[in-house]
């Protein structure tokens, strides 16, 4: 059983389109993180959201933490080929000292 | 550069053998996490050490073990290797014990033949 489910699993879009990736759980997290991973490389942290309902913007990327702190979304505006990669949500599982990762969303942006 | 160093970058070994993967965390980070990533899969949590003490275990096989040394570097030992152990192994470090903010190394690509 995956504690952090992401959807969609794959996304293939044209440059300039908008997209949203979802990260859902039945568990409450004290914080959630979003990472981006390129092939053969380690994941790179994009953002941390801590407060329920929090919205953070990073250029064309908008991250939201659900009010109940069980879910998060990543919205990309006007996607570019450089956004191509594997997007992973993650979070410290409450009271376990485990940092777990979501199932991942593989994004491909075509020029 | 994340500041986390993993060695070796690539490792090819035969079934039944034993290997050791090494991770040096960012300066000042006390937490080290180990993950396994098989082809086109997500990151599977293996184990977490904080300041030399094991804090959490994930789905880590009994053939696998890890430790964190007084200088905070960590090693992941994989023994009796099987073909299915072929994967990317990542370590990540973090300042705190329960933070989700982690910095990853470049990974070790293990191929078992």
| Interval B54-108: pLDDT, tens | 999 998 999 999 999 999 999 999 999 999 999 999 999 998 877 789 999 999 9
Mean pLDDT (chain A, rounded): 94
The residue among B67, B61, B109 whose CA lies nearest residue B88 is B109
pLDDT score of A109 more than 90:
yes
Cis peptide before A24 (omega within 30 of 0): no
pLDDT score of A1 more than 80:
no
pLDDT score of B41 more than 80:
no
Point out the residue among B58, B92, B101 whose CB comes nearest to the CB of A98: B58
Residues of B in Cβ contact (< 8 Å) with A44: 2, 104
pLDDT score of B5 more than 70:
yes
Which pLDDT does position A91 carry in this prediction? Answer: 93
| Distance, CA of A13 to CA of A11 (rounded, Å) | 6
Residues of B in Cβ contact (< 8 Å) with A88: 42-43
Phi and psi for B12 in degrees, rounded to 5? -120, 125
Residues 6 or more apart whose CB falls under 8 angstroms from that of B47 comprise B33, B34, B54, B56, B57, B58, B60, B66, B76
- Say if the Cβ atoms of A42 and B4 lie within 8 Å: yes
Strand order in the sheet with B5-7: B5-7, B19-24, B74-78, B64-68
Residues 82-111 (B) with a CB less than 8 A from some CB of A: 88, 90, 92, 94, 97-107, 109
pLDDT score of A22 more than 70:
yes
Residues of B in Cβ contact (< 8 Å) with A101: 35, 42-43, 45
């Amino acid at each position: 059983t995956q504690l952090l489910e992401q959807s969609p699993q794959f996304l293939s879009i044209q440059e300039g389109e908008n997209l949203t990736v979802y990260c859902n759980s039945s568990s409450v997290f004290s914080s959630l993180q979003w990472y981006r991973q390129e092939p053969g490389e380690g994941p790179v942290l994009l953002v941390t959201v801590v407060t329920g309902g929090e919205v953070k913007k990073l250029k064309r990327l908008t991250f939201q933490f659900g009010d109940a702190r069980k879910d998060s979304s990543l919205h990309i505006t006007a996607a570019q080929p450089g956004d191509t990669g594997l997007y992973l949500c993650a979070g410290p599982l409450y009271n376990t000292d485990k940092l777990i990762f979501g199932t991942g969303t593989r994004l491909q942006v075509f020029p | 550069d994340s500041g986390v160093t993993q060695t070796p970058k690539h490792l090819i070994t035969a079934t039944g053998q034993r290997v050791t993967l090494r991770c040096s965390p960012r300066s000042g980070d006390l937490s080290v996490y180990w993950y396994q990533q098989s082809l086109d899969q997500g990151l599977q949590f293996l184990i977490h050490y904080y300041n030399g003490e094991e804090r959490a275990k994930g789905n880590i096989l009994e053939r696998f073990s890890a430790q964190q040394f007084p200088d905070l570097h960590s090693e992941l030992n994989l023994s009796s290797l099987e073909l299915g152990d072929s994967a990317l192994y990542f370590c990540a470090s973090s300042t705190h014990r329960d933070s989700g903010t982690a910095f990853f190394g470049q990974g070790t690509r293990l191929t078992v033949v």
